[in-house]
């Protein structure tokens, strides 16, 4: 008769903070195109990581994996609930700013009245007071971005994936929005994965800048920013870090060509 031995107790499941992102050697193909390959990135809860990289290197693909909109073909992606703010603001043109902002709550099953009541108090804080009933076409680009950001925030997820949130704005609105985002995250910290083409923006907003190689994208350099907020583009430390990040990006691009 076989002796039954008690199997050792399974280790307790690790209590992973829902704000943590772990991407380990992730690869994602689209047909013959390998968008990202062997990409590894770890983000701590509450950390803001800015991702920069050449056009088409797989930045949006990375965000989609983190948000669970697609799965890697190889490797692992572990992340808590994440809300995506896509490249274009994608506001519903026929709905008011308030209803656009409240959309995430409606999707979660809240009544229209409750969703509006939850979204309305944030309008003043987001510089949108008085525009609750305006349609997106009547708002400036910066205001539309703020409505889109508010909608992403109201989804109540611990992780925000922002895909070039300010790319469509002129330089002044962009600087305003960068300052505003620094304030918004100070008030309501979240884990943020911010994709941007703009290395200066990455240094202004990130705790860390992750540099991607050309496609197939991998993280090839990480630069810790470690400066108190708010930061300004003219600060010597910001200028120096911007130079380092630019050099890392140039090296990544040149390395891929060699
Ligand atoms: N759904 C898809 N179907 C087919 N190909 C795709 C899809 N999504 C992305 N790709 C391809 O994968 C590659 C990476 O695209 P992705 O949008 O992730 O790059 P990106 O770095 O965000 O680009 P950009 O800087 O231009 O915004 C590109 O070659 C793109 O054409």
Tens place of pLDDT for every residue, the chain, 258 residues? Answer: 444 444 445 544 455 789 999 999 999 999 999 999 999 999 999 999 999 999 999 999 999 999 999 999 999 999 999 999 987 778 999 999 999 999 988 888 889 999 999 899 888 877 889 999 999 999 988 889 889 988 988 888 999 999 998 887 788 778 888 888 888 888 888 999 999 989 999 999 999 999 999 999 999 999 999 899 889 899 999 999 999 999 999 998 886 655
Residue 229 has a CB neighbour count (10 Å cut-off) of 14
DSSP secondary structure letter of residue 6:
P
pLDDT of residue 4: 43
Nearest 10 degrees: Cα torsion 179, 182, 184, 187 = -130
Q: Angle at CA 36, nearest 5°, toward 31 and 39?
A: 145
Residue among 61, 88, 211 whose CB has most ligand 1 atoms within 8 A, to mutate: 61
**Half-sphere exposure of residue 257, counting CA atoms within 13 Å on the CB side?**
7
Query: 154 and 125 in contact (C-beta within 8 Å)?
Result: no
Identify the three-state secondary structure at position 244: helix
219 has which bridge partners?
212
Query: 221 and 254 in contact (C-beta within 8 Å)?
Result: no
The residue among 165, 154, 190, 194 whose CA lies nearest residue 89 is 165
What pTM, to 2 d.p., does this model score? 0.88
| Burial of 98 (C-beta count, 10 Å sphere; 0-12/13-18/19+) | buried
Residue 178 has a CB neighbour count (10 Å cut-off) of 22
Q: How far is the CA of 55 from the centre of ligand 1 (A)?
A: 9
Q: Is the bond into 230 cis (omega within 30 degrees of 0)?
A: yes
Q: How far is the CA of 56 from the centre of ligand 1 (A)?
A: 5
Residues lining ligand 1, Cβ inside 6 A: 30, 33, 35, 53, 55-61, 215
pLDDT of residue 1: 43
Going by alpha carbons, the residue nearest to atom 6 of ligand 1 is: 30
Going by alpha carbons, the residue nearest to atom 13 of ligand 1 is: 35
Going by alpha carbons, the residue nearest to atom 20 of ligand 1 is: 56
Q: How far is the CA of 36 from the centre of ligand 1 (A)?
A: 9
Residue among 27, 28, 30 whose CB has most ligand 1 atoms within 8 A, to mutate: 30
pLDDT of residue 141: 84
DSSP secondary structure letter of residue 123:
H
Q: Angle at CA 16, nearest 5°, toward 150 and 49?
A: 50
* Strand ranges for 10-90 from DSSP E: 21-30, 33-43, 48-52, 74-79, 82-85
């Amino acid at each position: 008769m076989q002796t039954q031995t008690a199997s050792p107790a399974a280790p307790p499941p690790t209590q992973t903070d829902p704000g943590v992102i772990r991407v380990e050697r992730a690869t994602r193909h689209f047909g013959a195109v390998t968008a990202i390959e062997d990409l590894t990135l770890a983000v701590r809860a509450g950390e803001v990581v800015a991702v920069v990289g050449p056009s088409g290197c797989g930045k949006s693909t990375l965000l989609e994996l983190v948000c669970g909109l697609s799965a890697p073909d190889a490797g692992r992606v572990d992340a808590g609930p994440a809300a995506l703010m896509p490249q274009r603001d994608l506001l519903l043109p026929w709905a008011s700013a308030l209803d656009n902002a409240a959309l995430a709550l409606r999707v979660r099953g809240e009544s229209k009245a409750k969703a509006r009541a939850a979204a309305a108090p944030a309008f003043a804080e987001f510089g949108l007071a008085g525009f609750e009933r305006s349609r997106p076409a009547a708002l400036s680009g910066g205001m539309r971005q703020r409505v889109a950001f508010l909608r992403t925030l109201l989804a109540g997820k611990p992780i925000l994936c922002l895909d070039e949130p300010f790319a469509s704005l002129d330089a002044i609105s962009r600087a305003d929005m960068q300052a505003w985002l620094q304030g918004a995250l100070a008030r309501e910290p979240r884990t943020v994965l911010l994709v941007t083409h703009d290395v200066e923006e990455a240094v202004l907003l990130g705790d860390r800048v992750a540099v991607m190689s050309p496609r197939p994208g991998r993280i090839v350099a990480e630069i810790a920013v470690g400066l108190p907020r708010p930061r300004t583009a003219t600060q010597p430390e910001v200028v120096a870090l911007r130079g380092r990040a630019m050099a890392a990006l140039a090296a990544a691009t040149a390395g891929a060509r060699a």
